[in-house]
Structure 1
Amino acid sequence: MKSIKKSERILGIINVLKKYSDEENELTLQEIIDYLHEEFIDEVEFSKVAISNDLKELSDSKYVDIIINNERNGLPKYYSYKNRLIEIQELRLLMDAISSARFITKKDKEKILEKIKRLTSLSLANNLQNQIYLEDYAISGANRVKYTIFTLHNAIHEKKIIQFKYGRYNVQKEFTLSHNGLTRELHPYALVWNNDYYYLIGKYVGKEDMVHLRVDRMVDVNMTDQPFKVDEHFDTSEYMNRLFHMYSGAEKDLKVRMNNSLINVMIDRFGEDVYIEEDGANAFILRTKAIISDGLVKWLLTWGSDAKVIDPPELVQMMKEESEKMYNIYNN
């Protein structure tokens, strides 16, 4: 019979316990040995005394969570690996997020989901069968996006300027580069995932205003060796909270009168800390800061006559103009 080092044997035991045991499935000493034979093939001889001593050492160790249930009434001891770094409920959330992401191809999703299942026991992995439909559709360039995201994360972490080109689709569904394919330079601040798309927030070199760009529309992305200084006052959460449909624009104080039926929608959108003031029996006044843009206009029009803009005046005018355009479309 072939022999192996103690260190290799212990690693084999840990692997067996991680793979085949959990809170609901415990293994006897003989079952562990049987699985070890499967791992190392039958050429290796495993002593019950040696394996039992190894399990005792692992149980006493502060680095591995091995649980031993002592024998009672002549029954054998049971062993299991518990307290995993990621609980099965958390693995489920990860799988659902991956399944729903439009920037990941179906093929890549299937690969990632199988890898996630390997983070728990085989028994629990059977309970992680995907319940969300995996669409064949993925955004154009999805294979490229994962590498772009990796580069951008590194640039943000190291505070290095990036170079890239940007493009959009035309009505012929052709992807064309903006600014005649000019290479742009930008200070990358943060990556956000919004409405199934990744966006990069940052400042163009030499500019003061923040911008946000669809990552899947960025091509030839490279991190340079040039460092930049981050604006310490910039808050990603505040910036995103003031955007609507990812449109850029000037930030203003927003005041809107809304029907009470929209209170939960507004709390979902702005959080419980948003300023709300009762206005009669059936309405309330919403006050917040927002980026004034076509995106905000479209968002407000979603609520029809249940939302009336009071301030700022330029937004009131934008709402009137857009409403008139809609009226004319349906009356011509």
Structure 2
Amino acid sequence: MESPKNKLKLLEIRDLLLRETDDGHAISTQQIIDFLASKNIQSERKSIYHYIQLLEDYGMDIITEKDKQNWYHIANREFQLAELKLLVDAIKFSKFITQSKSVELIEKIKTLTSKHEAQLLQRDDLVTGRLKTRNNSIYLNVDAIHDAILGKYKLKFKYFDYDMSKEVKYRRNGEFYVVIPVFLCWDDEKYYCITYHEQHDDYVVYRVDKMREVNVVYQKHTIDKKPEDIEKYCDQLFNMFSGVEKNITMRFDRDLLNVVIDRFGMDVNIKPMDDQWFEICETVYVSPTFLSWMIQFQDKAKIIEPKDVVDEMKRTLEKTLKNYE
């Protein structure tokens, strides 16, 4: 009668290939036999060939190099190394994910490649100095919010700020908020839950990392409210797209050409003025965010017209200067 462990032979070989091999590392038939023996699974060369063929028939991309004995390695995987590096970097750079959760997720990602390539994913240089949230429940909060949105349920949670002692201080004296979640936004490495307020017929925004005791209220609602253009709504909410929309003429130093293209896109109409300056005319939402964006470039950027926006910029600069007197 076949040993129960022998029934695991195919899975053991599969796991061994995935863990130990890649384009730069192969294992031999004898090494597979020795590995199985360490698991008290008896095997012969002929059966190894058979199981390798089964795995190939199943869809695994196994390269066989024929020599005095065969050598095997996994070629293509579901994720390429560059893709895994991208995922690891995104996790490490995300302020939204706690340090402990980052380590946990990266360790899971490492299992998607060989142990040799997994070492290349240990990029500690990217962690240094990164500010990470301390709220370990955030990813659970996001999961609950998604469930509520998809199921058209309400959501309840407590919402907090920090006081001068950096202690958590709940709003509404710790009472629960009960809301209708509409969708989630991601901006500047933070998650935001956009909710609909029935009484005011408007949207209210909450930072997910400032939500505690988040739970789905399994009470169906019939509200079907959502901005017509979610992307535009988020732009208006978080970026330079809130305020009054106006046509603005701006002058920039040529050193800022790439910055301007990054901000306004490749379709921006650039008008060279001389060897140092160029101008653009763009439709912009005039807001404190936009004015702050211009101010950061100091004497290398200037609003030319309209006059009311120029005057608004002057008032902003005067208030800032007065703060330092």
TM-score between both structures, scaled by the size of structure 2: 0.83
Residues 252 and 312 in structure 1, CA contact (< 8 A), matched pair in contact too:
no
The residue identity in structure 1 corresponding to 2:313 is: M
Shift of 1:20: 0.7
**Structure 1 regions of 5+ residues with no counterpart?**
none
SS at match of 1:308: strand
Over the matched positions of the two proteins, sequence identity in percent amounts to: 27
Shift of 1:137: 5.1
The residue identity in structure 1 corresponding to 2:143 is: F
Counterpart for residue 117 of structure 1 = 110
**249-258 vs 20-29, which moves further:** 249-258
1:186 maps to 2:180: yes
Shift of 1:145: 1.5
Give, in whole Å, the separation in 2 of the partners of 1:299 and 1:253.
16
SS at match of 2:166: coil
Shift of 1:48: 1.9
Q: Deviations over 1:143-201 (max 9, x none)?
A: 12121122123333444433333332233433333355452413322231x33322233
Return the match for 1:88 from 67, 76, 81. Answer: 81
Describe the shift of the 1:119–1:162 C-alpha distance in structure 2 as closer, same or farther (beyond 3 A). same
Give, in whole Å, the separation in 1 of the partners of 2:195 and 2:243.
16
Shift of 1:16: 0.8
Residues 26 and 78 in structure 1, CA contact (< 8 A), matched pair in contact too:
yes
Counterpart for residue 100 of structure 1 = 93
Shift of 1:307: 2.9
SS at match of 1:255: strand
Give, in whole Å, the separation in 2 of the partners of 1:168 and 1:249.
24
Shift of 1:254: 5.1
1:133 maps to 2:130: no
Give, in whole Å, the separation in 2 of the partners of 1:18 and 1:188.
41
Computed over aligned residues only, the root mean square deviation of the Cα atoms, in angstroms, reads: 3.0
Q: Deviations over 1:297-332 (max 9, x none)?
A: 32232123413163594x5554232211122233x3
**154-163 vs 76-85, which moves further:** 154-163
Shift of 1:120: 0.5
Counterpart for residue 53 of structure 2 = 56
Give, in whole Å, the separation in 1 of the partners of 2:155 and 2:162.
23
Q: Deviations over 1:46-91 (max 9, x none)?
A: 1222221111222233x3222323x2xx532222222111111111
Return the match for 2:229 from 203, 228, 234. Answer: 234
The residue identity in structure 2 corresponding to 1:252 is: E
Counterpart mapping for 1:14-29 below 5 A: 14-29=14-29
Counterpart for residue 8 of structure 1 = 8
Return the match for 1:321 from 315, 319, 323. Answer: 315
Give, in whole Å, the separation in 2 of the partners of 1:169 and 1:309.
41
TM-score between both structures, scaled by the size of structure 1: 0.82
Counterpart mapping for 1:71-82 below 5 A: 71=66, 74-82=67-75
The residue identity in structure 2 corresponding to 1:300 is: M
1:171 maps to 2:164: yes
Give, in whole Å, the separation in 1 of the partners of 2:220 and 2:149.
12
Residues 95 and 130 in structure 2, CA contact (< 8 A), matched pair in contact too:
no
Give, in whole Å, the separation in 1 of the partners of 2:240 and 2:215.
25
User: How many residue pairs end up in the alignment?
Assistant: 317
**Structure 2 regions of 5+ residues with no counterpart?**
none
Q: Deviations over 1:182-233 (max 9, x none)?
A: 52413322231x3332223343334454454321122332333334424372
Describe the shift of the 1:52–1:270 C-alpha distance in structure 2 as closer, same or farther (beyond 3 A). same
Residues 105 and 136 in structure 1, CA contact (< 8 A), matched pair in contact too:
no
SS at match of 2:126: coil
Counterpart for residue 288 of structure 1 = 283
**152-161 vs 295-304, which moves further:** 152-161
Describe the shift of the 1:256–1:7 C-alpha distance in structure 2 as closer, same or farther (beyond 3 A). farther
Counterpart for residue 291 of structure 2 = 297
Counterpart for residue 262 of structure 1 = 256
